[in-house]
Amino acid sequence: MLRASAAAESAGIPTASLVCEGFLGLAASTSVGLGMPNIPVAAVPGHTGVQSKEELRRNILGVTMDDVVRNLTGEVGHAESETEPGARDVIFKGGFDEVNQYFYENELADGLPIVPPTREKVEQFLRCTKRSPDEVLGILLPDSRAATIWSIAVNGVMSGCRPEYMSVLIALVEAMADPYYGVEHSGNTPGGETLIVLNGPIIKTLRFNYTQGVMRDGFMANTSIGRFWRLYLRNVAGFLPQKNDKATFGNTWRVVVAENEDVVKEIGWKPLSVDMGYEAGDNTVTVSRFTGGNHISSISGSTPDEMLPYLADAVVRQYSWQIMFTVGQGMGTLRPLILLGPIIARTIASWGWSKEELKQYLFDHARIPAREYERILRDWTAKPIWNLEEEYRLGRIPRAFFESDDPDRMVPLVWEPDDYMIVVTGDPARNSAYVFAHNGVLGYPVTKKIDAAAAAPRRATKKG
């Protein structure tokens, strides 16, 4: 809404953006990022989602309307944005403890100690790429700040990364800046957190964990790069807790998940990178935002027919309001992710099943009754009427959602089998899986290729 207001105000058209009182701080911060620090807002007391019609009417007429009239008919005051230091300015000098205290108090750190980004350490990172420190990879919302190679190096140092991780960090920020990913939604209500999936030989080159405890911290590459993502969101994109980051509860940052490509090759499947359009052997990062997940223990059975009902049931149980990204807001953008333990993948593949056949099984069996589907859409999207038949006849959704008029017919969670993402990883001796609930268009999967040629530090050369 504020983006629309900014466009209108720039054209000389007065506006009044209605904002619930709990989001007034967010509106102020977003206005700064849009380059208009004083976009007019009209406060709505409380939260509209828990008010009766009478209470809402009383609040709108008694409070909000006065702000609306004032904003549309009065002269809006001007506000000045604070000037930021230059990219290479030294903002503080002191010892380790003093630097950390300064960074924390100025909201430049995540509450854990950071590695002070001295010029010497930053330059060590820059020697691991041939790209110019001033190169801009994109402009990141909500603060509309440029994502540069220099700022990647600075935040890489801070998060505890090693210089040779620089190529991975660059690819990650390219993914963050991709409009399909939608970085501007990183602070939305559900508090979805981004998971990074790594593919390619770089997994072993940089010593990523891809077996037991793959999502546990304790492995430098997985852990520090996962932390980098959240620090970059904070320091460059501008997502600060209780300001632009309005997650109701929130999630902590996730460590990087590396796929076990040895097992993938052994069983004749394709890694996630190939599913996302790259060649086998390419080094890639895939980012996508998830609202939560669940570990599925003890998937028992010696055949796919015995094992896969566990998996289909687990996928269904992860999804409620998120199906609005299938039919509703986002139309066809739901991308469930399943981390499949190697022993499960081996068993399925041993019966001649391809990954594509596994996806087809999930598409056919991870379903819910159409009646329940419509009820969830109606209750969770606040749209009075949801009718799958009408949506299909209007050409908005695939045939799979209206194969008959039986209200108890089973309909899929996604538009097509390839919407399922499957990654083989984790403890090779455990019959488990992990299912993630995807945040749809508010964090759509994006894959970028890593320039692995720059994965090792280059020696500094003497001048003159």
SS3 track for 348-396: HHHCCCCHHHHHHHHHHHCEEEHHHHHHHHHHHHCCCCCCHHHHHHCCC
Question: Of all residues in the chain, what percent carry a pLDDT higher than 90?
Answer: 71
Tell me the pLDDT tens digit for each residue of 116-152.
999 999 999 999 999 999 999 999 999 999 999 999 9
Q: What is d(CA 323, CA 330) in angstroms, rounded to the nearest whole number? A: 10
> What's the whole-model pTM score?
0.89
Residue 421's alpha-carbon distances to 133, 268, 283, 382, in angstroms, are 35, 17, 18, 29
**pLDDT tier, 190 (very low <50, low <70, confident <90, very high otherwise):** confident
Q: Is residue 35 predicted with pLDDT exceeding 90?
A: no
Closest CA relative to residue 412, chosen from 311, 337, 323: 323
CB-facing half-sphere around the CA of 152: CA atoms within 13 A:
34
Q: Is residue 395 predicted with pLDDT exceeding 90?
A: yes
Least confident range from 3-12, 238-247, 305-314, 451-460: namely: 451-460
| pLDDT value of residue 206 | 98
Least confident range from 193-202, 215-224, 240-249, 450-459: namely: 450-459
Q: What is d(CA 145, CA 157) in angstroms, rounded to the nearest whole number? A: 19
Find out whether 449 and 283 touch, Cβ atoms under 8 Å. Answer: yes
| pLDDT value of residue 28 | 58
**pLDDT tier, 33 (very low <50, low <70, confident <90, very high otherwise):** low
For residue 144, the tally of other CB atoms under 10 A from its CB is: 14
Mean pLDDT of 348-353: 98
| pLDDT value of residue 328 | 85
Q: What is d(CA 407, CA 152) in angstroms, rounded to the nearest whole number? A: 52
Tell me the pLDDT tens digit for each residue of 404-438.
999 999 999 999 999 999 999 999 999 999 999 99
Mean pLDDT of 221-250: 94
| pLDDT value of residue 285 | 98
Q: What is d(CA 145, CA 235) in angstroms, rounded to the nearest whole number? A: 9
| pLDDT value of residue 385 | 74
Least confident range from 73-82, 334-343, 366-375: namely: 73-82
Question: Of all residues in the chain, what percent carry a pLDDT higher than 70?
Answer: 86
Q: What is d(CA 338, CA 266) in angstroms, rounded to the nearest whole number? A: 19
Find out whether 296 and 311 touch, Cβ atoms under 8 Å. Answer: yes
pLDDT, greater one: 320 or 67 = 320
| pLDDT value of residue 459 | 46
Mean pLDDT of 161-175: 98
| pLDDT value of residue 42 | 74
Mean pLDDT of 381-385: 71
| pLDDT value of residue 32 | 61
Find out whether 10 and 39 touch, Cβ atoms under 8 Å. Answer: no
Q: Where are the domains of the chain?
A: 2-73
| pLDDT value of residue 87 | 84
Q: What is d(CA 132, CA 126) in angstroms, rounded to the nearest whole number? A: 8
